[in-house]
A and B are shown apart, each in its own frame.
Chain A
């Protein structure tokens, strides 16, 4: 991947690509810190919506980055972005998490109310819960797709790089996913 300019947490701009940072992180602890800053919000957000719990998202986010650090000497890029590698680690840890707990990943109501991310009205709350439940019932790869597209607002090309799909395949999968979501949910009769 070519060198790009990335926004930093502090509001400045960093010209170092992920690949360059990964190489430097093999020798320089601070470089790994920079990689962490670049991806912690994305990984945390993904884990948060997949677990529905702030505490579990924090716990898993810590494991993702510790595992990435431990395996960095063995990581080779081979055309696969660092972000894709991180999401793979997160995905595997989530799979273990779900297996351990054997529960659905619907978001607990209290968590989101506490975080204030939802409109206060009961009507909007119910609608949001319905949508989250429908998304939570999607296959794993489609949940990741919805996350990357609508939470991270990535382009189809960026999503393709992470998921190992062509841009066209991402577009097609996205359309199929939206259609299946539409088939899963209904508009209340009094609202039609």
Chain B
């Protein structure tokens, strides 16, 4: 069986009857398997790439991945610092206000 690509003005094979369509699909599947065998990479390439990957994985360090996944991000750290500063400012302001009120109360009495 010889294949060629259909021209635009041609009629497809699927206009044949059902049994020939089934036979055609079966033949097509067989040809696909034959035309596309599993390719394997060259042994030298395969071994060299594995070596490079293992070296790269080792260089990355086992704990880095874990630490990275557990470390808070920089934006979280900045946000926490800003909140802390705001908290300190509120505490200072409140203590200053209380002191002022007590001074006024003492002066009034």
**Residues of A bordering B, CB below 8 Å:** 25-30, 32-33, 36-37, 40-41, 44-45, 48-49, 54, 57-58, 61-62, 65-66, 69, 72-73, 115, 117-118, 123, 126-128, 130-135, 146-147, 150-153, 178-179, 181-188, 190-191
**Which residues of chain B (1-39) have a CB below 8 Å from chain A?**
1-6, 10, 12-14, 21, 24-25, 28-29, 31-39
Contacts of A153 in B (CB 8 A): 33
Known A69-B56, A130-B5, A181-B28: A49·B39 in contact at CB below 8 Å: yes
Q: List 21 A-B contacts (CB under 8 A).
A: A26-B65, A27-B62, A33-B57, A40-B41, A45-B38, A57-B39, A62-B52, A65-B53, A69-B57, A73-B68, A127-B31, A127-B35, A135-B32, A147-B36, A150-B29, A183-B14, A184-B5, A184-B6, A186-B10, A187-B3, A191-B2
Number of interface residues of B (CB under 8 A): 46
- Say yes or no for B109: interface residue by CB 8 A criterion: no
- A28 contacts B12, CB within 8 Å? no
**Residues of B bordering A, CB below 8 Å:** 1-6, 10, 12-14, 21, 24-25, 28-29, 31-42, 45-46, 49-50, 52-58, 60, 62-66, 68-69
Contacts of B54 in A (CB 8 A): 29-30, 32-33
Taking a contact as CB atoms closer than 8 A, the residue among A25, A132, A178 that contacts B28 in the complex is A178
Q: A29-B58, A45-B38, A178-B25 are known contacts; what are 9 more A-B pairs with Cβ within 8 Å?
A: A41-B40, A41-B41, A118-B35, A130-B4, A135-B32, A182-B14, A184-B5, A187-B1, A191-B1
